[in-house]
Structure 1
Amino acid sequence: MALPTMVSTAQLHTLLEQDDLVLLDSRFYLNDLEKGRKVYQQGHIPGALFVDLHHQLAGTETAFTGRHPLPEPDALAQTLASLGINNNSQVVVYDDMGGAMAARAWWMLVQQGIEVYVLNGGFGAWQKQGLPIEMGVNQPAPTEFRIKVSYPWLVTEEDVVANFEADRFQLLDARAEDRFNGMNETMDPVAGHIPGAINRPFMNNLNAEGLMKSPERLQTEWGALLQHIEKPIVYYCGSGVTACHNVLAMNYAGLEAKHVYVGSWSQWAKRMQRMMQEHSI
């Protein structure tokens, strides 16, 4: 069954008056955790609610997790209820990075059976079309209904370790090519990539205007990359965020993709650092 993926600015504009629409602004900046909320208050698509990727769509980072572990199922269920999301909601998520941040929310919600889409081109495309923008903070209409949250598409660190012997899946890294190759690593304590992984930077899913490439173009590009791989693909990145953009792009192209190693390189680098420290003793 095909997953919902993208809507255009024109499509969203026609949806704004729907009672079951929940519009989420998921703008997020790793170097300034408060900026997303600030830019939301300065201007957003009418009716949008701000959702905080770092605090609402992620759990607490520890010495043994990646930067953005998934929240506990009960915590996400509470967040969804506080935003007014139930099984009948139609959710649209946007950001200002070509869907790189919005895709995390999409991936988390779509596996709950929620009808959720990413706005193609995000806030920038909406502004470019000269469509309405409002300021301030919208208040959600919470629901008492609780979605039973689970993460069937989650791949864990233990799964990745076991795969070195089991060889059940192929890892695919969404980070930029230089970081994949161990260069210009400024975020994690160890540079490089997980052994055996291949690379497809998520930015390659976008055209020059910051829109998702056409399904046909994506199908051709992804098909060329994966043509000799017969195993299922598990997607990862730096912290389990932009990997979701590759999953989104694959589904937009009509190709099957679901599983994400959420700990990603930020968790794996901590593992490598611990191993190096143990061997140096």
Structure 2
Amino acid sequence: MLLQTLISVQALNDALEQENTVILDCRFYLVDHKKGRYEYEKGHVPKAIFVDVHHELAGKETELTGRHPLPEQEDFADQLQRWGIDQHSRVIVYDDMGGAIAARAWWMLSQQGIETYVLNGGINAWQQQGFPISMDNVIPERSFYRYQVSFPWQITEQKIVENFELDSFVLVDARAKDRYQGENETIDPVAGHIPGAVNRPFSDNLIETGEFKTKEDLLREWNDVASSGEPLVHYCGSGITSCHNVLAMNYAGLSASKVYVGSWSQWAKRMLKAANITS
């Protein structure tokens, strides 16, 4: 089943006055968690609600998880209510990184059955085309509807381990090539990639403007990645930008949904633990 994927800035502008439209500003910066709120306050799409990615799209990191584990299901059900999302909502998410961050929200909401789109080109495209910017701090009215949240599209660390024997899927690493090759690791304590994984940087889904490549180009490129015919499971550093590859595949017309949320940041902890045991 293919998912809803992208929406244009013109279509978003047309949807602004529709009562069921919910807009989420997902700007996030790994080295400065306060910057997202700062950028939101400087100006955002009208009606947009600020999303604290680190706390509202992720749970608390532990010694056993990656850097951005999924939140507890009941916590995320509460969060959906706080954003005013109900069974009639049409949600549009955006960032300023070509959808690299917003795709995480898209992936989490889509598996709840919520109609969700990523703004193609993000707020950069919105501003470049001259659409209005607001500085209002939007506080939504809490929804009465409560979703029964689940995350059926997540792949656990145990499934990754089992796949070394079962060989039932191919892992796709969404990080930049140098990090995949272990040449420039400045975030996680161990460099490299999960054995057997192939590399498809999420940035390869985009053109220079930060908008997505054409469906035709993405279909051709992703068919090359999926040439073995086995299902793909996506991962990255902490389970955020991997969702961008899921988004790109669906936009190209290819079914995809599975993400190893723990990603390299969890796998690196596993490697460190193993090294300590054997040393």
The TM-score, its normalising length taken from structure 1, stands at 0.98
Name 1:198's counterpart in structure 2: 198
Name 1:263's counterpart in structure 2: 262
Amino acid in the other structure paired with 1:118: V
* Post-superposition offset of 1:38: 1.0
User: 1:111-190, aligned counterparts within 5 Å?
Assistant: 111-190=111-190
Q: Is 1:11 aligned with 2:7?
A: no
* Post-superposition offset of 1:121: 0.2
Query: SS of 2:274's equivalent?
Result: helix
Query: SS of 1:17's equivalent?
Result: coil
Root-mean-square deviation (CA, aligned residues, Å) is: 0.7
Matches of 1:186 and 1:220 in 2, distance apart?
Answer: 32
| Cα deviation digits, residues 38-72 of structure 1 (max 9, x gap) | 11011000010011110000000011100000001
Query: SS of 1:159's equivalent?
Result: helix
Name 1:109's counterpart in structure 2: 109
* Post-superposition offset of 1:149: 0.4
* Post-superposition offset of 1:145: 1.1
Name 1:46's counterpart in structure 2: 46
Unaligned runs of 5+ in 1: none
Unaligned runs of 5+ in 2: none
Matches of 1:144 and 1:14 in 2, distance apart?
Answer: 26
* Post-superposition offset of 1:195: 0.2
Name 1:98's counterpart in structure 2: 98
The TM-score, its normalising length taken from structure 2, stands at 0.99
Matches of 1:263 and 1:78 in 2, distance apart?
Answer: 23
Aligned-residue identity in percent: 59
* Post-superposition offset of 1:136: 3.1
* Post-superposition offset of 1:128: 0.3
| Cα deviation digits, residues 66-107 of structure 1 (max 9, x gap) | 000000110000000000001110000000000000000000
Q: Is 1:243 aligned with 2:242?
A: yes
Preserved CA contact (<8 Å) 2:25 2:48: yes
* Post-superposition offset of 1:139: 1.0
* Post-superposition offset of 1:168: 1.1
Matches of 1:9 and 1:136 in 2, distance apart?
Answer: 20
* Post-superposition offset of 1:2: 2.3
Amino acid in the other structure paired with 1:154: Q
Name 2:273's counterpart in structure 1: 274
Preserved CA contact (<8 Å) 2:86 2:144: no
The runs of at least 4 aligned residues of structure 1 exceeding 3 Å deviation read none
Matches of 1:189 and 1:14 in 2, distance apart?
Answer: 46
Preserved CA contact (<8 Å) 1:42 1:136: no
Preserved CA contact (<8 Å) 2:93 2:102: yes
Name 1:71's counterpart in structure 2: 71
Matches of 1:9 and 1:141 in 2, distance apart?
Answer: 25
Q: Is 1:214 aligned with 2:214?
A: yes
Amino acid in the other structure paired with 1:160: I
